[in-house]
Structure 1
Amino acid sequence: MLKRIEVSELRLGMHLHAFDGPWMDHPFWRTRFVVDDEADLKKARSSAVRHVWIDVTQGLDVAPAALPKPQHSVVVAAPPPPPAAPAAPVKPASTSFQEEMQQAAAVVKRSRRAVVSMFADARLGKALDADQCLPLVEDISNSVYRNPGALVSLARLKTADDYSYMHSVAVCALMVALARQLGMSEEQCRHAGLAGLLHDLGKAVMPNDVLNKPGKLTDDEFAVMKTHPERGHALLMEGKGAGEAALEVCLHHHEKMDGSGYPHGLAGEQIHALSRMGAVCDVYDAITSNRPYKAGWDPAESIARMASWKGHFDTTMFSAFVRSIGIYPTGSVVRMQSGRLGVVVEQNADKLSAPVVKLFFSTKSNMPIPPVRLDLAAAGTSDRIAGREPPDKWGFKHIEDLWVDPDLRRASK
């Protein structure tokens, strides 16, 4: 039987079923576990959530002293809290890029902690309950619905140290954005997001010296890494709630259209549509992120390179992916016809070749200029993008500070 109690009444040995409040306000990435650690108990009591649901059939009941007096007691079976990810959620209202960045920073911070805990549990051999990930997918999805570019762009700014964790968050957001672009239902978008979040779970059980090696892997080391899709699939099978989408993407996101991928060498239509989506999202985030062994590529350069890899991606999925993030994704450095350089700070969904840029450098004078925000889709704008510009060519450092507030970056850590 479920019982709603004040969080101050929570004690060791109770089975915590759910927090009675927003997921973002509670300190754990999962619920439905027996509280057997004093540190977890302190976290729960110090959270912003004031009430929790306990299952007295799977753990201790409230202490006798905390029970209400008999004359005032009413024994009823408490209804379970609403499901974490409703089948037909109300679509969040759209927001501007800058407005959504504030909320996205909080979601990214929370997501990092959640995935770190999820990977740690996997390493310890604890079975995963994928249902516990649904609130996280819900928050990421809602951010993408409000403004597709904010969280996707912020999640790309990971460090080499937290790549394995934040890669899962980024691919989740990219999968939601791509599914939305493909016209999938909101429920299907969330299934795609969950698949993205769990696609690399097998890396949790890879040897750390191989996973974080700051250099090229040997053939033997690469052979070990190539087992991570099957290892992750096995972990999801041992747990519960993963669903067909997550199992499929976890196992086959490294397959290629020409049959040269792994683990099964599938080709073309043999590869599930969701796995073809996962392949695009996984590679894009991987090559644009700082890794232990290399710096990430410029986003626009990455799109151009991916387009040149014949036989790698489903062309329909790749085209939809480009429409979802832009020809010049946020953070790309571009050269203008005027000779000025700018960084893309926002997309114009109806005009992918005309995003909003922040101009900051003159190639004519070879000097920085006062930053100027320019909407290339606005009426009367005469300057246009002439092409991509490699940031390394000019020795630019901290380009990201031009399009995301440094305080927001710190808030997302």
Structure 2
Amino acid sequence: MTMSHDSTEYPISVDQLCVGVFIRLEDSDATAPLLWRQGFKITSEKQIEKLKNIGLTEVIAVLNKSDRFPLPADPGPRPEPQPAKKEAFKTPVSRELFSLKEETLRRNKERRERFKRCETQYDASVSRVAQLLRQVSAKSEDAAKEASGVVSAMVDTFLADRDVLVNLINSQPTEELRHYHALNVCVLSLMMGKELQLSGEHMHALGMGALLHDVGKGRMPVSQLSRGRATVMKHAVEKYYQQHPALGAKIAQDLPLFPPQGVPVILHHHEAMDGSGFPQGLAGDQISSLARVVTIADIYDNLCNIGISEEDESPLTPHEALKHIYNKRRNAVDSRMLSVFVRCIGVYPPGTVVQLSNGLVGMVVSINPLKSSRPAVMVYHAEIPKKEALIVDLRIEEELLIDKTIRPEELPREIFKYLSPSRKIGYYADSVAAS
């Protein structure tokens, strides 16, 4: 039996089995135990005998999980495999994936492990944010301390490590959306702060202001909604919305341990460079420089989770959100900060669905700060399990290009389910040193 040197899985005879080879059975063999179909490593000769005794003639060898190669094929006559099974099976790195470099395949396992760790850490951080927002509402003295703990952990990570590893969750249940939004804006702001080379003190103030930027929302007195026509109530809601930055700044100012430089971040995060913002209608240099960072992060995350307006409720893709800011909001935001933001999240931000020049469809999962147009893409492949999805690094695969972006709703159902583009966005900027 022959094999391609680029393949990582291929069928072998049970006579080729030896200790150290990782194998699985074809998914079409529904009679086999689930563990066998998922795969396991041969650890003893008894396992080989058991496989032979139950009548198996062929298994699938998984080289990248094996400690050694299978034994050479017996040149003598062997039972012919069933044509149907042989025709149905294709090696996962066939056709479009033959040319992928060894480094891309080697780094996949490490990337997946880092993403998983990040997802766990981020979900834990959201729980802490939910707790501290409740403490702020109750005017607890522990609120600023808890917020400081969340931000300090992030700041220490960003300042000490050249890798930026965060996991931002999209399309969350409504009751959790504000918690995720607070953390998303905080993380995106700190990413920009790191790129701007802010001091530790300024990073802390930026993070605290970003985390509590919307703390003034929901402070409208119930008496304002207890009576009156719908138009009157709508006017009252709009009035208090315009004032929520000032209300939030007052709350933060009264919190013990809250950094003074973080207060203008909350007060100014809805101000605009052209003077069209609120609550004070400030313009240009009148606006806190840290607030200009948070403004962009706030707009971007809202576009990705809510859309252009709450009435429309049509979230944009990350790529569309970035284009919308450039086309519709460029005069309202600081142009220098916008350039920094693009460097941080890339021309194709994480979560963007793309088609590569070899025909594969995938979702951007990480960006390369030095080559923002060449991100890493998790690709769909029908024969690779979702939990082992292949991540193609375009920085390494120089022959591949992004042909076009695709709206998630245009994807076939099986690809949408595999990539889950509307559920999860991972922001992961590779360390320059890693290259």
Residue 271 of structure 1: how far off its partner (Å): 0.8
Q: Taking CA–CA contacts closer than 8 Å with sequence separation of 6 or more, which of the two structures ends up with the larger relative contact order?
A: 2
1:352 to 351, 369, 372: 372
Give the 3 Å change call, closer, same or farther, for CA 164–384 of structure 1 in structure 2.
same
Alignment of 1:87-98 (within 5 A): 97-98=111-112
Give the aligned CA root-mean-square deviation in angstroms: 3.5
What does residue 402 of structure 1 align with? Answer: 419
Cα deviation, residue 159, structure 1: 3.1
Deviation at 1:173, TM superposition (A): 0.9
Normalization by structure 2: what TM-score? 0.61
**Which of 297, 300, 309 lines up with 1:284 in the alignment?**
300
Q: Secondary structure at the match of 2:363?
A: strand
2:152 to 138, 144, 157: 138
The corresponding residue for 1:328 is 348
1:77-116 equivalences in 2 (<5 Å): 97-116=111-130
Question: Which residue of 191, 194, 206 maps to 2:205?
Answer: 191
In structure 2, which of residues 171, 178, 194 is the aligned counterpart of residue 180 of structure 1? 194
Query: 1:24-47: CA deviations, max 9, x gaps?
Result: xxxxxxxxxxxxxxxxxxxxxxxx
Segment drifting more, 257-266 vs 190-199: 190-199
2:277 aligned with 1:258: no
CA distance 1:229–1:400, shift in 2 (3 Å): farther
What does residue 270 of structure 1 align with?
286
Q: Normalising by the residue count of structure 1, what TM-score does the alignment of the two structures yield? A: 0.64
> 4+ runs of 1 displaced by more than 4 Å?
142-149, 206-210, 290-293, 368-372, 395-401, 406-409
* Matching of residue 386 in structure 1 with residue 403 in structure 2: yes
- Structure 1 residues 275-319: Cα deviation after superposition (integer angstroms, max 9, x where no partner): 111100111111112588625321111111111123111010011
Number of aligned residue pairs: give it: 301
Letter in 1 for 2:294: G
* Structure 1 unmatched ranges of 5 or more: 1-94, 211-216, 362-367
Tell me if 1:374 matches 2:392.
yes
What amino acid is the match of 1:286? N
Identity of aligned residues (%): 26
2:305 corresponds to 1:298: no
State how far apart, in whole Å, the 2-side matches of 1:181 and 1:389 are: 29
Structure 2 CA distance for aligned equivalents of residues 282 and 193 of structure 1: 13
Indicate the residue corresponding to 1:341 in structure 2: 361
SS for the counterpart of 1:154 is strand
Q: Could you say which residue in structure 1 is the equivalent of 2:331? A: 311
For the 8 Å contact 1:331–1:400, the answer to whether it is kept is no
Note the residue ranges of structure 2 that are not aligned, 5 or more in a row: 1-108, 226-232, 427-435
- Given that 1:119 and 1:204 are in contact with CA atoms closer than 8 Å, whether structure 2 keeps it comes out as no
AA of the residue aligned to 2:249: H
Correspondences of 1:56-67 after superposition (within 5 Å)? none
Mapped partners of 2:234, 2:163: distance in 1: 38
Determine if contact 2:168/2:424 at 8 Å carries over to the other structure: no
State the Cα distance separating 1:330 from its structure 2 match.
Answer: 1.3
